[in-house]
A and B are shown apart, each in its own frame.
Chain A
Amino acid sequence: MEKIAEQIRKEASRLLDSEEVEVVVGFKKGTIPMVNRPWFARTPEEAKEFHWDGFCNLNLVNYLTKRKGKVAVVAKGCDSRSLVLHFQEHQVTKDQVVILGVPCHGMLDRRKLQRAAGRKEILDVTEKDGSVVLRGKELELVLPREEALQHCCTICEHRNPVIADIVLAPEVEERKTDRFSDIADIEAKEAHERWNFFRRILSTCIRCYACRNACPHCYCPECFVDCSRPQWVGKSQDPDDVFTFHLFRAFHMAGRCTDCGSCERACPMGIPVRLLTRKLEKEIRERWGYEVGLSLEGIPPLATYRPDDPQDFIM
């Protein structure tokens, strides 16, 4: 991890020094354990603050939407696919961006770690040799890294950036994973069970829109929740309105979500919103064999068609 941090600092400093970019977007160490802050370095001096560890979860491509000028961004596998989508959707152009690719072994889930520590406050987290060491008042706990990973990372099939100008670490071995068995379990339920299931998991939603705002691909100038003529979704905590917000947001992500997990990471209530987005990923893979953000030549599936698309459900 520290080696990666050093590389980020080195490359960032070089890019800023040569004025190849105006700003480098990465992370600096958070003021509390288990979270890091997106950092926008504009001078080689500021680039010294870049940091890298298992809590660099958030998708930094979120800060590139409609950005002007030249920018460098630190991108993991999922982030790089988001960047491809951003290029496809013209939110930023390829020649504006210098991609500092970081092959990723997975990011850590602070909620999992806190559950492991129980009621003891975690004051320090150290990662070494495949373990995560938690320390606090009367707390010293060692966990294997695999048990502490964010869910999206446990099933990630693109841990290496698919596109990068500079790669800052050795390649990670890719593997096929079982991405959809939990989705299949939900599909197997009865309709009313599914209805109740989603109502229950959405019951703690406070409409803070952290999920929406953390997502690079939610960038509509006017979000559908703010449209009042007509008002598609009410603003109150009516459970049907909360449900509708998540239904529509998931639909907007169809064929666009790279499963970076930023939505779930940002959510203060720990709502597993990826159970919705991954259902759509499953549909799109099965129907049209498409995976998001793998190549610049790809076209988001809802923005295109084939004359012989499957239509078994149409009368």
Chain B
Amino acid sequence: MERSEQKEESWEPKILAFLCNWCSYAGADLAGVSRLQYPHNIRVIRIPCSGRMNPAFIVAALRNGIDGVLVSGCHPGDCHYLSGNYFARRKFTVFKSLLEYMGIEEGRVHFSWVSAAEGEKFAQVVREVTEKVKALGPARNYVKERIEVC
């Protein structure tokens, strides 16, 4: 994934959103179909369930130059696979606290529950996440060292 050279003032964060297929992805789709406006900074990756989310994806994202990550799934009780989001919730709790403890700034990694009917909520979540990540500035600490000349 290439970073284009940009001046700091016009810097826009790149945010990766892992959305569960059955709820959050559908919710994002609804936002689109409803022509709801939300910041263009997010790139969506569809996963079958928030329980499929591997913390290593978050780390890989940060290491490859992503400034913020959002993981979103179905509301507890509504998981298409019954309990995936319950396990995800526990996993996220632990991983988020560990990441922040080790020095990744609070506000880079976010989690949400967005249902297939919540187009407006999705747009709102994206607005909030983008705002928070933008306020933190580019994620520089953990980025894999790039070699530009070869």
Name A's B-contacting residues (CB within 8 A). 186-187, 191-199, 224, 230, 232, 238, 240, 243-244, 247-248, 250-251, 254-255, 276, 279-280, 283-284, 287-288, 301-302, 304-307, 309-311, 313-315
Q: Is the CB of B90 within 8 A of A313?
A: no
Chain A residues with Cβ below 8 Å from B112 are 314-315
Asked whether A232 lies within 8 Å of B56 as measured between CB atoms, the reply is yes
Q: Contacts of A197 on B, CB cut-off 8 Å?
A: 103
Interface flag for B39 (CB, 8 Å): no
Contact check, B87 vs A305: say whether CB atoms are below 8 A apart. yes
CB distance from A185 to the nearest CB of B (A): 12
What separation, in Å, do the CA atoms of A248 and B94 have in the docked complex? 12
Whether A251 contacts B111 by the Cβ 8 Å rule is no
A196 to B102, CA, bound (A): 9
From B72, which residue of chain A is reached at the shortest CB distance?
A315
Given contacts A238-B145, A315-B128, whether A305 and B98 have CB atoms under 8 Å apart is no
**B86 x A307 contact (CB < 8 A):** yes
* Total CB contacts across the A-B interface at under 8 A: 109
- Rounded to whole Å, the gap between the CB of B39 and the closest CB of chain A is 15
A315 touches B93 (CB 8 A): no
Which of B83, B92, B98 has the largest count of A CB atoms less than 10 A from its CB? B98
9 A-B contact pairs sorted by A residue (CB < 8 Å): A250-B98, A279-B97, A280-B94, A284-B94, A288-B90, A301-B90, A305-B83, A309-B93, A315-B128
Q: How far is the CA of A232 from the CA of B103 in the complex (A)?
A: 19
Q: Taking the nearest CB of chain B, how far is it from the CB of A270, in angstroms?
A: 19
Contact B77 A248 (CB under 8 A): no
Rounded to whole Å, the gap between the CB of B110 and the closest CB of chain A is 6
A276 and B63: CB pair below 8 A? no
CB-CB under 8 A from B47, the residues of chain A are: none
Q: Are A247 and B99 in contact (CB under 8 A)?
A: yes
A302-B103 contact in complex given A254-B94, A311-B76, A314-B111, C-beta closer than 8 Å: no
Interface pair A191/B100, CB less than 8 Å apart = yes
Residues of B84-114 at the interface with A, using a CB-CB cut-off of 8 Å, are: 86-87, 89-106, 110-113
A255 and B87 CA atoms in complex are apart in Å by 13
Bound CA–CA A254/B55 (angstroms)? 13
Q: Are B90 and A243 in contact (CB under 8 A)?
A: no
Q: Among the listed A194, A305, A310, A315, which residue makes an inter-chain contact with B86, where contact means beta carbons less than 8 Å apart? A: A305
Q: Is the CB of B86 within 8 A of A251?
A: no
CA distance A183 to B113 in the complex (A): 30
- A287 and B112 CA atoms in complex are apart in Å by 18
Contact A309 B90 (CB under 8 A): yes
Interface 1/0s, chain B 116-148, versus A by CB < 8 A? Answer: 000000000100110000000000011011000
Distance (Å) between the CB of B128 and the closest chain A CB?
Answer: 7
Q: Closest residue of chain A to B136, judged by CB?
A: A191
* Besides A283-B98, A313-B111, 20 new A-B residue pairs in contact (Cβ under 8 A), listed by A number: A187-B101, A191-B100, A192-B105, A194-B101, A244-B63, A251-B55, A255-B94, A276-B102, A279-B101, A280-B98, A302-B91, A304-B90, A305-B87, A307-B76, A310-B93, A311-B89, A314-B89, A314-B112, A315-B125, A315-B128
Enumerate chain A residues within 8 angstroms of B44, measured Cβ to Cβ: none
| Docked complex Cα distance between A277 and B125 (Å) | 32
User: What's the nearest-Cβ distance from chain A to residue B56, in Å?
Assistant: 5
With A191-B106, A240-B145, A254-B94: A186-B86 Cβ-Cβ less than 8 Å: no
Distance between B53 CB and nearest chain A CB, rounded to angstroms: 13
CB distance from B44 to the nearest CB of A (A): 16
- Tell me, rounded to whole Å, the shortest Cβ–Cβ distance linking B86 to chain A: 4
- Residues of A with C-beta under 8 A to B83: 305
* B142 to A: closest C-beta gap in Å: 6
Say whether B60 faces chain A, with CB atoms less than 8 Å apart: yes
Decide: A224 near B103, CB < 8 A? Known: A305-B86, A313-B96, A315-B110: no
| Docked pose: A99 CA to B63 CA in angstroms | 45
Q: Are B95 and A251 in contact, with the CB atoms below 8 A?
A: yes
